[in-house]
Structure 1
Amino acid sequence: MTVKQLELPALVDHCARLGIPAVGLWREPVAAYGLEAAAKLVRDAGLAVSSLCRGGFLTAADDEGRTRALADNRAAIDEAAALGTDTLVLVSGGLPAGSRDLVAARARIGEALAELAPYAGERGVRLAIEPLHPMFASDRCVVSTLDQALELAAPFPASQVGVVVDTYHVWWDDHAPAAVARAGATDRIHSFQLADWTTPLPEGVLNGRGQIGDGAVDMRAWRERVEATGWTGFIEVELFNDGLWARDGVEVLEETARRFASEVF
């Protein structure tokens, strides 16, 4: 998504050229290119698929909405397995229309996980609950902290359900470092993503993730914090940014690789 202006073949070619070992894919461009073709494209380039984004949106209050969400998430799990990744990122969903009941919405996420976790486990896929910044709680994700995500994951084996540590969403939370340690100690860190927090936020907010090194987040400290738990997995950079998307995609990819080297390590 960081360079969504690049078609999949160009993305894969330039990642391989730059020594980037893995790519996190999104379902929409994979579907447009073809699931099996995308899997072969990445595999033939010698890259791994670090994660698939996204499943989730599990907070519907009506039977039809819940049934539709479960079916879509089962399809996403199957797609992740076909791509060869063991991680499906879940953005849990916001409040249903007309509702103000956060507790009930979070409870429905747990009920959905009870159905989806065994299905994912049978296919070698882990569900990674991503907490989003509280400004997204009403419309996109009622899970706002790592502590909340870990509470939802706790009833299930770590091999089936864990969490995403995304710097953009959790950097502000003074409880997050302890939650990272707890997640690492229980093998619940399933994805680690980087994006910077820059202000002023753009209109619409969603596409405000800054290039690493441009904002308030201490990327090196977060990398050290996560690695201190024993994490040895891939570190993704996921930027939603209209300014970056308006630029040449190869230029942005090369800049991101340089920033990763200078700001994270």
Structure 2
Amino acid sequence: MAEVALINIDKCEVIDPSETGHGFKMKEAVGNWMTMDILWLFTIPVDGQPAPPPATPAKPVWGRPVARVPVGHWAGDRVIIVDQDAGSASMNLPADLLARFPEADPEGDAIEFALENLKHVGLADYKPAEKLDANDALFPTDRVWVVRNLTKRWYARGDVLVKAEKLSGPAITAGVGLSDLVWAEIGGAMSCGSSHGERFDIQTLASIQNPEDGQEWVDKSKQAKSTLVSFDMNDDVSALRGEDEDY
């Protein structure tokens, strides 16, 4: 198992799982629920409401605090997951990112390039007063939430990806869900995902039905469900989390 890092290309930021309490390696991150915990990086509150600040403070790691970012901080940015086996920075990262660090070696490992040059940040988080329910003003459960690939203009509905009894607004109570799909698509899965370095967010279905730019979106909910099943089976997601597979 190789070390892993989550990279925001546009903001020049990196999240190191060892600094967020999720371990060093891919399977450790999966087993420690990081694929669920990235949810609030990409999720946008309903009705144009402002994103809330981090619910918990920066956490000191290795003697220094790694500050959390606000909810939705990575929504709409180019993102990618790389590990030690990914190869060089020049093979994995776009030229515009490499150009911002002219002193760095582009032929070195992509993960080393990211960890040595990009800004280290923590995860976003959100803690409702009680549980997520229909009364939650920012992330209500009485609306359908979707994962959107803004680069390729496709979306996947949460009510297709997740059984109703395990769905709580954009979050889930068990199994694999919306943020697991983003994780798999941006490079966190062994055998699925084809959206490395692309732009994602998580919003309500209204953002698809009434897009501000008037352009069409393609419903890829069924294909995305297959991606999640493949991710769960081939990367041992349920087993690592101590859950039973249930599709």
Instruction: Note whether the superposition's TM-score is higher than 0.5.
Output: no
TM-score (norm 1): 0.25
TM-score (norm 2): 0.27
Give the structure with the larger helix fraction: 1
